[in-house]
């Protein structure tokens, strides 16, 4: 893929060299099963997993006992949503979910309708923000779960999850927050909010694919879940199966690097994003974001007079998205953008760029030139 430029870092990221270096010994030299408690091979890998759990806990400021390892955010989302519904359904059956959530959340919650779930799909304003008033008014005596993501994967809009989770807590409602796009992009302090469940995926912050972590709050409020997978006592009996030591080690290393470099990376991303905004403004672009509360790693652009799919055809050397990577193969307009009040035409004229601090200025210049030429051609 020589001369190609990757601008789809919200979809996935490459493994950081230091992460790969940390992982490699656990494929060959340190290959023991962490559940093998009678010999040093098992002890060593168990120690490595303990260290990774400590790295995750430190990164989001929680207890190590509040972290379990999963295959990724989608599994964690399923475990959180289904676990809360199954264990809390005697209290009620009402679930609140934002209309702009990732499909992993929306589809999982929608699947509970056949089991009697009463679902409120919460509106957002034109900037994609959930207001305090709308969230409070949606809560019922029968509400047993509220689900609001931290950073939107299509627009980068940051929700005030501290405020919303505190409202949920005051009403005794467990709060699930999809943290997939938040790690390494915003400061995460679990002592400063009332989020009950927070799933994350390593491949969104330069770790390996197929591994994630799930935060489950133990107090104020205490969240109780059940295992989706049975057949063993791993992860405090919350996830059976042999632990994926190399990937867990990689996740721990990746999250430590991401948090260490959060401030400096944010400044770099801000500068990169500004360059692309400057170009697109020349073509009367609109930006699908919250003006003062959007992550710097995502830029969602609407150029009303062109179709984004046509632009994609003229910029084949640039890898970017027309929406979420998980829904980009569908022919429907983005549910996130339509929830923000965009027409179908506006949604089909929108595309997402997502950035990395590792992008070079040469790559930026090449991408800017390619977009400029392509857009000019489509407008002629």
| Range of weakest confidence among 7-21, 38-52, 203-217, 301-315 | 38-52
pLDDT at residue 227 greater than cutoff 80: yes
pLDDT at residue 84 in the model: 96
Q: Where would I find the beta strands (DSSP E) of 109-268?
A: 118-122, 143-147, 175-176, 197-201, 212-216
What pLDDT digit, counting tens, does each position of 193-213 carry?
Answer: 999 999 999 999 999 999 999
pLDDT at residue 284 in the model: 96
pLDDT at residue 326 greater than cutoff 80: no
- Of the candidates 206, 197, 172, the residue with the CA atom closest to the CA atom of residue 62: 197
Interstrand relation of 212-216 and 67-70 (parallel, antiparallel or unpaired) = antiparallel
What pLDDT digit, counting tens, does each position of 79-128 carry?
Answer: 999 999 999 988 999 999 999 999 999 999 999 999 999 999 999 999 99
Q: Helix 245-260 crosses helix 262-281 at what angle (to 10 degrees)? A: 70
Q: How many CB atoms lie within 10 A of CB 380?
A: 5
**Domain segments of the chain as ranges:** 5-14+262-379, 17-259
Mean pLDDT of 329-340: 86
**Buried b vs exposed e over 107-130: b needs ≥16 C-beta within 10 Å?**
ebbeebeeeebebbbbebeebbbb
User: d(Cα 94, Cα 310) in Å, to the nearest integer?
Assistant: 42
pLDDT at residue 330 in the model: 57
pLDDT-derived band at 31 (thresholds 50, 70, 90) equals confident
Q: What would be the CATH architecture of the domain defined by 17-259?
A: 3-Layer(aba) Sandwich (3.40)
Q: Residue 68's beta-bridge partner residues?
A: 214
Q: How many CB atoms lie within 10 A of CB 336?
A: 29
Q: Is 302 a catalytic residue?
A: no
Mean pLDDT estimate for the chain: 94
pLDDT at residue 30 in the model: 87
Q: What would be the CATH architecture of the domain defined by 5-14+262-379?
A: Alpha-Beta Complex (3.90)
What 3-state class would DSSP assign to 128? Answer: coil
Mean pLDDT of 6-15: 98
| Range of weakest confidence among 153-167, 235-249, 334-348 | 235-249
Helix residue spans in the chain (DSSP H): 17-23, 25-28, 40-60, 73-88, 103-110, 132-138, 161-170, 234-237, 245-260, 262-281, 308-314, 335-339, 344-348, 361-379
User: d(Cα 246, Cα 59) in Å, to the nearest integer?
Assistant: 19
- Of the candidates 378, 373, 363, the residue with the CA atom closest to the CA atom of residue 303: 378
Q: How many CB atoms lie within 10 A of CB 31?
A: 13
pLDDT at residue 38 in the model: 81
CA 329 to mean position of chain CA atoms: 19
Higher pLDDT, 197 or 40: 197
Q: What percent of the chain has pLDDT over 90?
A: 86
Higher pLDDT, 30 or 361: 361
pLDDT at residue 43 in the model: 74
Contact 70, 79 (CB under 8 A): yes
pLDDT-derived band at 69 (thresholds 50, 70, 90) equals very high
Q: Is the C-alpha dihedral spanning 319, 325, 328, 333 positive or negative? A: negative
Interstrand relation of 143-147 and 286-287 (parallel, antiparallel or unpaired) = unpaired
Active-site residue (options: 62, 177, 302, 326): 326
Mean pLDDT of 306-312: 96
């Amino acid at each position: 893929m020589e001369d190609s430029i990757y601008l789809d870092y919200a979809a996935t990221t490459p493994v950081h060299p230091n992460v790969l270096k940390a992982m490699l010994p656990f494929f060959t030299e340190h290959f023991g099963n962490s559940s093998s408690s009678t010999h040093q091979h098992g002890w060593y890998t168990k120690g490595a997993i303990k260290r990774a759990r400590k790295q995750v806990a430190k990164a989001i400021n929680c207890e190590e006992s509040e972290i379990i390892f999963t295959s990724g955010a989608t599994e964690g989302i399923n475990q959180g949503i289904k676990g809360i519904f199954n264990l809390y359904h005697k209290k009620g059956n009402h679930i609140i979910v934002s209309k702009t959530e990732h499909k992993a959340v929306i589809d999982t919650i929608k699947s509970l309708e056949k089991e009697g779930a009463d679902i409120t799909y919460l509106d957002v304003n034109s900037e994609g923000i959930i207001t305090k008033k709308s969230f409070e008014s949606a809560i019922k005596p029968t509400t047993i779960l509220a689900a609001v993501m931290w950073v939107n994967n299509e627009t980068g809009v940051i929700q005030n999850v501290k405020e919303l989770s505190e409202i949920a807590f005051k009403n005794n409602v467990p709060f699930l927050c999809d943290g997939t796009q938040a790690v390494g992009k915003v400061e995460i302090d679990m002592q400063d909010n009332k989020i009950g469940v927070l799933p994350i995926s390593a491949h969104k912050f330069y770790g390996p694919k197929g591994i994630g972590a799930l935060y489950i709050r133990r107090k104020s409020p205490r969240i109780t879940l059940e295992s989706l997978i049975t057949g063993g006592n791993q992860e405090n009996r919350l996830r059976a199966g042999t632990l994926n030591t190399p990937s867990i080690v990689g996740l721990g290393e990746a999250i430590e690097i991401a948090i260490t470099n959060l401030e400096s990376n944010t400044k770099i991303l801000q500068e990169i994003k500004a360059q692309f905004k400057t170009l697109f403004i020349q073509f009367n672009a609109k930006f699908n974001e919250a003006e003062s509360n959007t992550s710097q790693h995502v830029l969602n652009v609407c150029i009303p007079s062109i179709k984004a799919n046509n632009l994609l055809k003229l910029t084949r050397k640039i890898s970017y998205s027309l929406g979420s990577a998980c829904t980009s193969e569908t022919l429907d307009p983005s549910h996130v953008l339509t929830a923000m009040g965009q027409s179908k035409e506006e949604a089909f004229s929108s595309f997402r760029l997502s950035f990395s601090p590792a992008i070079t200025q040469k790559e930026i210049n090449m991408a800017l030139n390619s977009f400029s030429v392509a857009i000019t051609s489509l407008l002629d």
